[in-house]
Amino acid sequence: MEYQWNWGVFLLPSAVNDGTYLDWMIAGLQTTLLLSLSAWVIALLLGAVVGVLRTVPHRGLSGVATAYVEMFRNIPLLVQLFFWYFVLPELLPAAAGDAFKALNPIAQQFVAAMVCLGFFTSARVAEQVRSGINALPRGQKNAGLALGLTLPQTYRHVMLPMAFRLVVPPLTSEFLNVFKNSAVCSTIGLLELAAQGRQLVDYTAQPYESFVAVTVAYLMINVVVMLLMRKVEVLVRVPGYLGGK
């Protein structure tokens, strides 16, 4: 039996009459982008804090930060996702758990996926921030302290402005990973790009077209993010450092 290619399938009205199959794909792409970008914001904020804490000369604080990183790095993303989606709402105090379950199912999936991806990625961001801070010449911290700045002031005005700029190039691959990892969230029923592709296979009997379209969409996200980050890298690079002017 010869396979009948039909790229026009995307323009057909969908089986449940809510637009075309192309609209499904676009909706999936939007969910993937929104999910990944909001998770990335969480990851940058948490990752910056945890990464800084890992470098401070205080056993308790750096211990907590280390435990945080090890925890999120040594449990598979899928297990973490099921934790946020199925387990945590049961364990929260009744009021909070009920508030979560009162959300509509799509919002529940999205919130769980966003928080999960955000925390998962933050541990990786924290490691990059830590190595950025550790890559600074030791004299910078000492000079700050010698000038009479307190340790927090030294971090705020001397070390972090440099470290955050050094950390941008290695963060590119983590940024790319957020988009790829977001595909895991299809397992809890979130209708992002991969899930829409799978749904189209069931509805249209045109599996090749649907999967090729989804794959190309991921490749395009990849290319756009890389071009964008290249621009950002040029903006923030530090003269005198490798890759600098």
Partner 1 sequence: MFGSYEFDWSSIPVSLGFLGQGLMVSLEITALAIVAGIVWGTLLAMARLSSIKPLAWAAAAYVNLFRAIPLVMVLLWFFLIVPKFLESFLGLPPGSDVRLASAMIGFALFESAYYAEIIRAGIQSVPKGQLAAAHALGMSYPQAMLHVVLPQAFRNMVPLLLTQAIILFQDTSLVYVSALADFFGAAYKVGDRDGRLVELVLFAGAVYFVLCFAASQAVRHYQKRLQTA
Question: Is residue 102 close enough to count as binding partner 1 by CB under 8 A?
Answer: no
Among 1, 227, 235, 242, binds partner 1 (CB under 8 A): 1
Q: Is 3 in the site for partner 1 (CB under 8 A)?
A: yes
74 binds partner 1 (CB under 8 A): yes
DSSP alpha helix (H) spans, 74-104: 77-82, 88-91, 94-102
Give the Cα separation of 79 and 71 in Å (integer): 12
- Least CB distance from residue 225 to partner 1, whole Å? 10
99 binds partner 1 (CB under 8 A): no
Q: Which residues make Cβ contacts (< 8 Å) with residue 197, sequence separation at least 6? A: 25, 28, 210, 211, 213, 214
Burial 55-87 (b: 16+ CB within 10 A, else e): beeeeeebeebeebbeebeeeebeebbbebbee
Q: Which two tokens stand for residue 135?
A: 């890559």
- Output 108 or 181, the one with its CB closest to partner 1: 181
Where in 154-193 is the site for partner 1 (CB under 8 A)? 176, 179-184, 186-187
Are the C-beta atoms of residues 10 and 89 closer than 8 Å to each other? Answer: no
Q: Shortest Cβ distance from residue 76 to partner 1 (Å)?
A: 4
**94 makes contact with partner 1 (CB under 8 A):** yes
Q: In the set 20, 61, 62, 82, which binds partner 1 (CB under 8 A)? A: 82
Of 121, 131, 136, 133, whose CA–CA distance to 68 is shortest?
121
The residues, ordered by sequence, that sit 6+ positions from 5 with a Cβ below 8 Å of its Cβ are: 208, 209
Interface pick for partner 1 out of 86, 105, 146, 161 (rule CB under 8 A): 86
Binding site for partner 1 (CB under 8 A): 1, 3, 70-71, 73-80, 82-83, 86-87, 90-94, 96-97, 176, 179-184, 186-187, 194, 197-198, 201, 207-208, 211, 214-215, 218-219, 222
